[in-house]
Amino acid sequence: YLWSSYGRMRAMATAHQGKAYVTGGFSYSPMGFDLWELDVAAPVATGTWVQRPFLPAPPRKDPIVFVIGSTAYVGGGEDFSAFTDLWAYDGNTRAWTAKAALPGSMVVAAAVDGIGYGLRNTTTNNFFAYDPLLNAWSPRADLPVPRTSTVAFGLEGKIYVTTGFANSTRFKDLWEYDPESNTWTQRTDKSGQAIHAAAGFALGNKGYVTGGNTGGTTTATSLAYRYDPASDSWAAVQSMPFPGNVQVHMAFAIGNVGYCGGGVLGGSLYHQNSFRGYDPMANTW
């Protein structure tokens, strides 16, 4: 369970050196810049989140996050206006360090092979790469179909973007970015309905997309799907066992288990406050 009985939505969650972290987002209290850590393998107390040094920047919802080596990078998001700051968090020293600002407001990020990638919701100049050695961003080929409220993950040396929302349209298309050729290729559409406000994670050599909004504020789903880049195919997996369909939630993977939690159940004001673990071998939560 999360630390708060109210849960949290539109926050950042990631796995970093075998531990889970959550920051940002909001619940029935103000938006967060607090940082919470969960050691799944050997927690201080089973299932307990431990508070760590706050993000030394304004609170926000919808921050981006990507992990490179031993460092997690968090930034962007919005309050009444968009943020473009970027911060590196060292889980060993529990210290934050300011890094090169984002090249504009970003909606999602992921990393592969030591480079971070961030997507902007603009028609042009919408995709950038971050080199941690140079501490610099550089433009890459534009995603052909820009969007917001989307999911991204890195698999087998490539970045994948799927689902999302733009101009009153929800998406289920899947795009693959190849860093070597600096090109985007459209792959097989995600199974099921077009959605936005979903969550995703990479587990092993496959990507997962869970939940999401299907048709308006009060309509969401608990369905989950797995993508295999080797066969360019999708398969439905066991639906999430939340007491209601979930959206604007969080996801991460540690070891051989994927986790989803937080968010909002359907269109209610109830903010989901638990995480469930997914075992791909048993196909159970």
Instruction: Check residue 4 and give its pLDDT.
Output: 58
Locate 62 and state its tokens.
């919808």
pLDDT of residue 262: 87
Q: Quick check: 260 and 247 in contact, CB under 8 A? A: no
| Closest of 258, 246, 249, 190 to residue 222, by C-alpha | 246
- The pLDDT of residue 218 is 78
- Please tell me the predicted confidence (pLDDT) of residue 243: 73
Q: What is the reported pLDDT for 272? A: 73
Q: What's the pLDDT score for residue 48?
A: 76
Handedness of CA 160, 243, 193, 204 (dihedral sign): positive
Region of residue 33 (phi > 0: left; psi between -120 and 50: alpha; otherwise: beta): alpha
Q: What is the pLDDT of residue 203?
A: 96
pLDDT below 50 — which residues of the chain? none
- Cα distance between residue 227 and residue 246, in whole Å: 20
Nearest to 102 by CA among 49, 156, 139: 139
**How many CA atoms does the CB half-sphere of 127 hold within 13 Å?**
24
Q: How far apart are CA 206 and CA 167, in angstroms?
A: 30
pLDDT of amino acid 49: 82
Instruction: Return the half-sphere exposure (C-beta side, CA atoms, 13 A cut-off) of residue 59.
Output: 13
| CA distances for 193 relative to 53, 97, 164, 176, 215, angstroms | 40, 40, 12, 20, 10
